[in-house]
Chain A
Amino acid sequence: MSEIKTGGLRHVYSLGTPFEKVALDGIGLSIPQGQLAAIIGHTGSGKSTFIQHLNALLSPTEGQVLLGGEDINRDKYARRDVKQRVGLVFQYPEYQLFEETVYKDIAFGPTNMKLDAEEIDRRVRKAARFVGVEEELLERSPLELSGGQKRRIAIAGVIAMEPEVLILDEPTAGLDPAGCEQILSNILDYREKSGATVILVSHSMDDVARIAERIIVFDQGRLAMDGSPAEIFSRPEELVAMGLNVPKATELAMALRRRGLRLPESIFSHEQLLRALLALKEGRAC
């Protein structure tokens, strides 16, 4: 079991200098195994700092992070092992590619895990299939591929470690709509086949509204909201006050409500909006 739990998590950058900055202030969260949670928040709200705590890249100033009930910072071996169990894909991960071939780059993680050659080969091919990279690309240099392909290879590099928890920081940033779509479906695929927990940091409210089961909102290093998409997006004014967007459908519904249409509160997808509008129309016709 790999439930993630944080208690009183606090992180202060440059502690003890004039540049001291509190990035996280008492975050207590629990994310059960297999959940697909999205973290949203304004730039500087502490979400990137938070996810780097979940695989012990950063250690908390106060508080602790538990994975399956065990403190991941208990000693340096635990800090190392947690990186294999919690895979973290950074923002713009294509900048981390360095090997001569795509194959070797995807194999970097599994090789660091000291697996045998056969297992590495199995994992590399499986991860490549997950993200839709064809076999013939495996022997090419990663640097000569397109942006979307590079991004998917970088994600495959983390998936090849077969983590129980997969964390992605803005996986779709800067991609065209088709590229976004593909990456999101790759992630959903991985989750379905492996049962992994997925934590997604995103600015795209439409993506979040569509795929997340739970939304966690950060604001100035604190937990501002936590709930299902229906719950979160039924409070659009609060989100806007925090400098966040709401999904396009919610925005449209808000505007229509202001014009006097009686639409329900929790609309966050195009389908829901369409259904609500049709229901309204029929109601009026009767």
Chain B
Amino acid sequence: MLKNVTLGQYFPGDTVVHRLDPRTKLILVIVYIIALFQAAGWIGYAAVTVVTLLCMALSQIKPSTMFKGVKPMLFIIALTALLNIFYTTGTPVRPGWIVTWEGIARAFQMMLRIVLLITGTFLLTYTTSPIALTDGLERLLNPLKKLHVPVHEMTMMMSMALRFIPTLIAETDKIMSAQKARGADFETGSLISRAKALLPILVPLFVSAFKRADELAVAMESRCYHGGEGRTRMKQMHMAARDYAALVLGALFLAGMIVLKRLGL
């Protein structure tokens, strides 16, 4: 029942987008988000949408896969749209109504903005393995090490957390089955009794998570792990021509969006 979590899932592939250096992709996602927030009018939104669809086509991610990622957010998207419809001043659709034409337009743009935001960031996680992603992040944040920010430790924790999500989900499933076999009931009863029913799942889950963490620490230490100092990598990251090309395209896109904003489009 918990197996259909797509958040942060990686779909291996061999497209230009997959081959880009994770650092490039991280920077591009930030550029993309800034550019998205420059969109002020319909033309601006249209431009971002076209670019997003283009990237999706390049990475060969199916629209249905993307939709599955957006689905959990549908409620928030709908709520945002609803609020915007009712709280935007302007010309009423009919005299005396609260709903204005501007409100409808704004609601639509807001919906588009959230969907594009999710799509853009999912493009990153769908095409980059979690390991590559955290490696890229570490390299990007490298300058912060001068300020004694534990960048390596932070990214190491991140990759471990990502690594153990599926394991913990499988574990939860197993414990739930075991407690159900002992007659535990998770589906009926009042809210309080249902919350109490979670205890037989949470306690064993925490116990095993701590045990696992302990074992992992021992396993890492016995393989001489001692933090980021002087650590080399098996997979070196290389900025290729396509990375520079992608960054230039990203910069042009952002510049274009800023110009569009100035023009009020």
Contact = CB atoms under 8 A, between A and B. Distances in A.
Nearest to A114: B183
Interface in B142-182: 171, 174-175, 177-182
Which bucket holds chain A's interface residue count?
A: 20 to 34
Contact of A83 (B175, B180, B204, B208): B180
B205 to A, nearest CB: 9
Given A57-B177, A90-B177, A98-B199, A161 B182 contact: yes
Contact of B181 (A87, A95, A97, A98): A87
Contacts of A157: 182
Given A96-B204, A97-B204, A98-B200, A109 B182 contact: yes
Q: Categorize the interface residue count of chain B.
A: 20 to 34
A276 interface: no
B50 to A, nearest CB: 29
A158 B181 contact: yes
B178 A96 contact: yes
A96 B179 contact: yes
Nearest to B187: A76
Contacts of A112: 182-185
Contacts of A52: 177
B153 to A, nearest CB: 29
B183 A90 contact: no
Q: What's the dominant secondary structure at chain B's contact region?
A: helix
B203 A108 contact: no
Contacts of A66: none
Contact of B178 (A93, A113, A161): A93
Contacts of B174: 90, 95
B108 to A, nearest CB: 33
B2 interface: no
B207 A88 contact: no
A31 B208 CA distance: 35
A84 interface: yes
A172 interface: no
Question: Which one of A57, A112, A157 has the greatest number of beta carbons of chain B within 10 Å?
Answer: A112
Nearest to A88: B181
Contact of A98 (B177, B180, B204): B204
B184 A90 contact: no
Given A95-B204, A98-B204, A161 B199 contact: no
A55 interface: yes
Most chain B beta-carbon neighbours within 10 Å: one of A14, A96, A97, A143: A96
Contacts of A93: 178
A89 to B, nearest CB: 8
Q: Which residue among B178, B179, B202 has the maximum number of chain A CB atoms within 10 Å of its CB?
A: B178
Interface string A69-97: 00000000000100110011110010111
A108 B208 contact: no
B200 A83 contact: no
A161 B183 contact: yes
Contacts of A95: 171, 174-175, 178, 204, 207-208
Nearest to A108: B182
Interface string A159-177: 0010000000000000000
B183 A109 contact: yes
B181 A108 contact: no
B163 to A, nearest CB: 20
Contacts of A83: 180-183
A112 B181 CA distance: 11
Contacts of B183: 80, 83-84, 108-109, 112-113, 161
Contacts of A88: 181
Contacts of A87: 181
Interface in B196-228: 199-200, 202-204, 207-208
A57 B173 CA distance: 11
6 A-B pairs with the lowest CB-CB distances in the bound complex, closest first: A112-B183, A98-B203, A96-B178, A109-B182, A88-B181, A90-B178
Interface of B: 3, 171, 174-175, 177-185, 199-200, 202-204, 207-208
Given A98-B202, A99-B203, A108-B183, 15 more contacts: A14-B3, A52-B177, A80-B185, A84-B183, A90-B177, A93-B178, A95-B175, A95-B208, A98-B199, A108-B184, A109-B183, A143-B207, A158-B182, A161-B182, A161-B183
24 contacts: A14-B3, A83-B182, A87-B181, A89-B181, A90-B181, A93-B178, A95-B171, A95-B175, A95-B178, A95-B204, A95-B207, A96-B178, A96-B179, A96-B200, A98-B199, A98-B202, A98-B203, A99-B203, A108-B179, A108-B182, A108-B184, A112-B182, A113-B183, A158-B182
